[in-house]
């Protein structure tokens, strides 16, 4: 993966699945987290590396008064215009990949977890990591969680979900699955068991290099 020796996995899940909570639980056990969403936010805040290119490609209206990317405006634009979405991705994806590789190189945890919300949609992650871990839950639970958390209507949540891979597509890509429907306390044993599995795989990979 990316020319690295360290064992790595990609962690993904639909909106409202609880992937951040579960990623943090693995981090507490000793894994290094690299969150592509956080990297994208850093690239598009004031003085972020992507801002000059975004301004050049989309004009001053794409930049907020504080110098960061106008997220609401750009979200609405790419939601309705697939060509604009591709233009924005052409700016962000190479930068995200470079920053991701840089973070991976300096990570010191027992193994690497790349948290990638759109992992299934983003092409070649399956080839870039050793395993894929999917955080799964029923779609009705996703909808309820996101409505409560983000103060969105059911229709707004469904529109977001339609722009993500389906539950079936994510599960088809998974090597491991955590079903997160009833709270973290009930899945902690599963997290601990997977952590031990990943430690063993990491040791095997290190020994074979």
pTM: 0.87
Residue 186 buriedness (CB in 10 A; 0-12 / 13-18 / 19+): exposed
Residues 119-159: pLDDT tens digits? 998 768 888 899 999 999 999 999 999 998 888 889 888 98
Task: Enter the tokens of residue 2.
Answer: 């990316």
> Looking at the DSSP assignment, which residues form a beta bridge with residue 176?
133
pLDDT at 17: 92
Q: What is the mean pLDDT of the chain?
A: 90
Instruction: For residues 60 and 48, give the distance between their C-alpha atoms in angstroms, rounded to a whole number.
Output: 15
15-27 pLDDT per residue, tens: 999 999 999 999 9
Q: What is the pLDDT of residues 156-208, one digit of tens each?
A: 889 888 888 899 999 999 999 999 988 778 899 999 999 999 999 999 988 87
Q: Is residue 34 predicted with pLDDT exceeding 90?
A: yes
For residues 118 and 159, what is the distance between their CA atoms, to the nearest angstrom? Answer: 15
The predicted pLDDT at position 99 comes to 93
Rounded distance between C-alpha atoms, residue 30 and residue 143, angstroms? 31
| Cα 108 to Cα 130: distance, rounded to the nearest angstrom | 18
Domains contained in the chain, CATH given = 1-31+111-203 (3.40.50.300), 36-108 (no CATH)
pLDDT, position 209? 61
Give the residue from 88, 80, 77 showing the smallest Cα distance to 50: 88
Looking at residue 3, its pLDDT comes to 44
128 class by beta-carbon count within 10 Å (0-12 exposed, 13-18 middle, 19+ buried):
buried
Number of continuous H segments (helices) and E segments (strands) in the chain:
10, 5
């Amino acid at each position: 993966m990316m020319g690295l020796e360290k064992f790595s996995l990609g962690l993904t899940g639909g909106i409202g699945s609880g992937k951040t909570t579960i990623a943090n639980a693995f981090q507490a056990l000793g894994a290094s987290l690299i969150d592509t969403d956080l990297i994208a936010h850093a690239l598009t805040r004031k003085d972020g590396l992507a801002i000059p290119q975004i301004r050049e490609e989309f004009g001053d209206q794409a930049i907020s008064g504080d110098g960061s990317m106008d997220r609401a405006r750009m979200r609405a634009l790419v939601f309705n215009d697939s060509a604009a979405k591709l233009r924005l991705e052409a700016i962000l994806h190479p930068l995200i990949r470079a920053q991701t590789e840089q973070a991976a190189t300096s990570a010191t945890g027992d193994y690497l977890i790349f948290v990638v919300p759109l992992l299934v949609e983003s092409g070649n992650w399956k080839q870039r990591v050793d395993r894929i871990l999917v955080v799964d839950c029923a779609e009705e639970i996703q909808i309820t969680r996101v409505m409560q958390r983000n103060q969105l209507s059911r229709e707004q949540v469904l529109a977001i979900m339609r722009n993500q891979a389906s539950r079936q597509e994510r599960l088809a890509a998974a090597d491991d699955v955590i079903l997160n429907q009833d709270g973290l306390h009930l899945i902690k044993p599963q997290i601990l068991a997977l952590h031990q599995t990943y430690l063993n795989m990491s040791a095997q990979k290190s020994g074979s290099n």
